[in-house]
Amino acid sequence: MQLTIRIPDEDVSKIEQIASKMGLKKSDITRMAIRSFIDRFEDSKPSPYAKVKSLLGIAESGIPDLGKNHRKHLIEKIKAESK
């Protein structure tokens, strides 16, 4: 696919210098720069964990073994509420 962009002359000059030093075409340098930008952008997307990590551990039950014995505690709570 072809893409046409407008960039300042000083940037074109820098791209030409870099391309000359590396033995590449201006289009190669531009593609590499765009790929680098995309990779950095995708890496900056927060993971599902990062989105909720501020919420983890925010509530405290006061029951130290709730995670380990959650079924036992749930049954006790249900029995207590049904009385």
Q: Are 15 and 26 in contact (CB under 8 A)?
A: yes
Name the residue range of residue 34's domain. Answer: 9-46
Is there a domain that residue 15 lies in?
yes
Q: Which of 15-29, 52-66, 67-81 has the highest mean pLDDT?
A: 15-29
Does this model's pTM top 0.75?
A: no
Q: What is the pLDDT of residues 47-70, one digit of tens each?
A: 888 888 888 776 777 888 888 888
User: Is 27 part of any domain?
Assistant: yes
Give the Cα separation of 52 and 44 in Å (integer): 16
Please check whether residue 36 lies inside any domain of the structure. yes
For the chain, how many structural domains are there in total? Answer: 1
54: tokens are: 């501020």
Domain assignment present for 31: yes
